[in-house]
Structure 1
Amino acid sequence: MGNWWSSGEPPPPPPMVLVPPLFDFPPLAARTRMLESSYDLLFGKLALRCLFEDYFEEAKHFSTRIMLKPIDDPHVDLIATVAGPINHNPEETIVGNAQFRWQSDVDDPHTFVDLFVSNTEPILLMRSCAYYPKFGFGAFGIFPVLLKQRVSSEDYGVMGLRYGSSNLSVGATIIPFSAGDEFPRNAWLVSKMGRLTAGVQYEPKFGCKDEARYKNLANWSCAIGYGLGSGSPLSPSFNFGLELAKNSQFIASFYQHMVVQRRVKNPLEEDEIVGITNYVDFGFELQTSVDDDMSSNNIPDSTFQIAASWQANKNFLVKGKVGPLSSSIALAFKSWWKPSFTLSMSATRDRTKGETAYGFGINVDNIREASYQRADPNFVMLTPNKEHLAEGIHWKSGKRPVLQSDVNSGNFDGVPKELRPLNKIL
């Protein structure tokens, strides 16, 4: 260092790591998580749903989604989607819908009101949720305002109450305009003890009288999961779950999110850029019937699917999944303009028919505004306007070691709010 000062030359810049934001984080389903049972979202279910479904367009179909919010009022946003067959098919119609949402707190998505309009049923749907973090209590409702015909009592609306803390979630939904035969519509209890999460859910589908419904095991589901990780996508995580659904189906699944670094040998980058953060995800789900009646009704006795995704940088994502009947691969390209613009294409191979079909998707988004940033992997001195952190890399660049960051220790103070873990409510 003395030679640098004596020669009048500034010290060389510290080595930097490119830290691209995730393609879609937080997931859109997390914005409406208070309207659903916690049992249906925990045990890695939400992560697996995103891994198995996002960017895998339906074969021979296209989808377009535009998500925008005004600069002058960040409390509101609009999501519009159009989807349909690529080729003209008189048996299929193009489905279009739009959702207008008002959110009371920009940083808290749990209190909101939205209106959903569509050219299919329901034509107009209103959803509302109010959650009070200080007390942990929340209330929500889903009300179909316009329907062509109301067949069941559920078509008149659903209401629910819930309590949530960092280690407990309990709640129930009711149909207020029913005759009482379906009370409650469903109820759940989920508890977290260290790395273990256990839960049970009651959904009355079988039995006439209350006593018969409660005693019928087909109305009950239970699950247990083991999870590691902080909940932030900038930290690795692992989740393994076992579920017995409705006393008829056994489901085993695991999901792993890995934050890895690789060397960068790009002539377009500066010399101090030594690595880039990548995100690799794996998921597996096995479903096996434990009910002889289901097997006798032409329902497959067991099925499975496995999927993996790799985000190479801020622009490219590759995903693939394999099942007993078909295999799919998806490619997505994203430009981080404001709003961001995403093009995706998927190919599905149907092994039963021996055919390959393609699907296409376009997505425009300025609701999630993560940016492409660079961080000093030593985390001693960050560039002034860069906040993203990531797992440190362990190779050496010249004589200066590249150390590990303190994200593992739970220090998320420098992480943007959309990438911080949600630990206040289970």
Structure 2
Amino acid sequence: MGNWWSDTKEPPPPLVLVPPLFDFPPLAARTRMLESSYNLLFGKLPLRCLFEDYFEESKHFSTRIMLKPIDDPHVDLIATVMGPLDQKPEERIVGNAQFRWQSDVDDPHTFMDLFVSNSDPTLLIRSCAYYPRMGFGAFGIFPVLLKKRVSSEDHGVMGLRYGSSNLSVGATVMPFSLGDEFPRSAWLVSKMGRLMAGVQYEPQFGSKDAARYKNLANWSCAIGYGLGSGSPLSPSFNFGLELAKNSQFIASFYQHVVVQRRVKNPLEEDEVVGITNYIDFGFELQTRVDDEKTSNSIHDSTFQVAASWQANKNFLLKGKVGPLSSSLALAFKSWWKPSFTFSISATRDRSKRETAFGFGIRVDSLREASYQRADPNFVMLTPNKEHLAEGIHWKIGKRPVLQSDVNSGNFDGIPRELRPLGKIL
């Protein structure tokens, strides 16, 4: 009888929406084993994505289709078409396609791809084999069809590398080179706690080996300080200083912030009390430090600042400011299968006092839409589009103090596309 009188529905618990990121992992991370770790660490990869993604070239368009067959997830295809909106005789539409085979669906470090294009190189083969247990890897880049082979790199590049959680070392050579350039490049990067230091050798000056090694213009060095796990589910912070080619000083800063705000959408259900947002901010300063007398122009010392805000799973707003121009980009994404993204960017050239627009369209089935508890102050729950936030009282200006697995570095229960890029440096 007592249960009959108290047989009333309990109010639904509050919900916190946690949208997936627009583009994670970045496409550049799929081929990072073909590059020097020096060129990707120190916050360089996220800064590159922040400063370049969705900022289309003025008066140009770009279309990218990224597809993966359902029957065989080990292969995928990326086709790109880009060109001017008002085509001129000296400009043409560039089209290329890349077919990729990956050994392990969850491990992008062992693969082979074929790249075809209507511009040089017409056919390019790239391959990489990496063994995580031993930490050793080998890779190669070979232009098969090329209209004209000018430099030694046009005959192919091969490399060896070793990587662990605290060390990355490697070198590249040109096996079919006609000259005596050996090695083509070499790098060494080490991590000690939150500090990271690295050096890279790229011979461009000097006629003999001894002269090239002693010439400081062939060396670059960098030091960085970083926080975060490498997963977008937790905030991260990177600060780096670099002396490139003994002639250019570069200071950079990048921060990824995970915040939650109240939902003020009348279309949402009453139990939806909050939504997770992703905010990225980056700054880069470049200035010359050599003794060469150059013209006192703005190119001798330049900077750029950029920021992005993902308000929900559908909208992304980005902006960047430099000494010569400013750009603003807006992207809309629909999470169908495959997903569809439309972007428009506006660039203001202050020297010409002109504003030009660029457009982009992307179709993607490589990266799945994943929803997960993003704020480390919240407990990790079962992946779903909307997560029950039981026991959480939403208060303005006050955040709950609950520890999650993300903060402790446990990513086993997280979808693979939201995990850190790997346990190698």
TM-score normalised by length of structure 2: 0.94
Letter in 2 for 1:386: N
- 1:6-405 pair list within 5 angstroms: 7-293=6-292, 295-296=294-295, 300-372=299-371, 382=381, 386=384, 396=394, 402-405=400-403
- Report the CA distance between 1:228 and its aligned residue: 0.5
**Whole-Å separation in 2 of the counterparts to 1:150 and 1:217:** 29
SS at match of 1:141: strand
SS at match of 2:260: strand
**Whole-Å separation in 1 of the counterparts to 2:57 and 2:258:** 29
SS at match of 1:295: coil
- Report the CA distance between 1:389 and its aligned residue: 8.5
Per-residue CA deviations over 1:322-354 (Å, capped at 9, x if unaligned) read 000000000000000000000000000000101
Contact 1:375 1:387 in 2 (8 A): no
Structure 1 residues 136 and 174: alpha-carbon distance in aligned structure 2, compared to 1, 3 A threshold: same
SS at match of 2:294: helix
SS at match of 2:232: coil
Contact 2:314 2:332 in 1 (8 A): yes
Contact 1:307 1:320 in 2 (8 A): yes
**Whole-Å separation in 1 of the counterparts to 2:34 and 2:54:** 24
* Structure 1 runs not aligned, ≥5 long: none
Contact 1:4 1:11 in 2 (8 A): no
Contact 1:83 1:95 in 2 (8 A): yes
Structure 1 residues 42 and 375: alpha-carbon distance in aligned structure 2, compared to 1, 3 A threshold: closer
Letter in 1 for 2:394: K
**Whole-Å separation in 1 of the counterparts to 2:296 and 2:374:** 57
Contact 1:15 1:377 in 2 (8 A): no
Residue of structure 2 in register with 1:416 after alignment: 415
**Whole-Å separation in 2 of the counterparts to 1:238 and 1:44:** 9
**Whole-Å separation in 1 of the counterparts to 2:400 and 2:262:** 12
Structure 1 residues 107 and 198: alpha-carbon distance in aligned structure 2, compared to 1, 3 A threshold: same
Letter in 2 for 1:130: A
Letter in 2 for 1:396: W
SS at match of 1:211: helix
Letter in 2 for 1:315: N
**Whole-Å separation in 1 of the counterparts to 2:7 and 2:375:** 24
**Whole-Å separation in 2 of the counterparts to 1:66 and 1:207:** 44
Contact 2:66 2:79 in 1 (8 A): yes
Contact 1:150 1:156 in 2 (8 A): yes
* Structure 2 runs not aligned, ≥5 long: none
- Report the CA distance between 1:293 and its aligned residue: 1.9
RMSD after superposition: 2.6
- 4+ long deviations beyond 4 Å: 3-6, 296-299, 372-381, 387-395, 400-403
**Whole-Å separation in 2 of the counterparts to 1:347 and 1:249:** 30
Contact 2:54 2:360 in 1 (8 A): yes
- Report the CA distance between 1:152 and its aligned residue: 1.8
SS at match of 1:396: coil
**Whole-Å separation in 2 of the counterparts to 1:388 and 1:367:** 23
- Report the CA distance between 1:361 and its aligned residue: 0.2
- Report the CA distance between 1:370 and its aligned residue: 1.9
Per-residue CA deviations over 1:56-79 (Å, capped at 9, x if unaligned) read 000000000000010000000000
SS at match of 2:412: coil
**Whole-Å separation in 2 of the counterparts to 1:87 and 1:18:** 42
Letter in 2 for 1:236: P
**Whole-Å separation in 2 of the counterparts to 1:205 and 1:381:** 51
Letter in 1 for 2:328: I
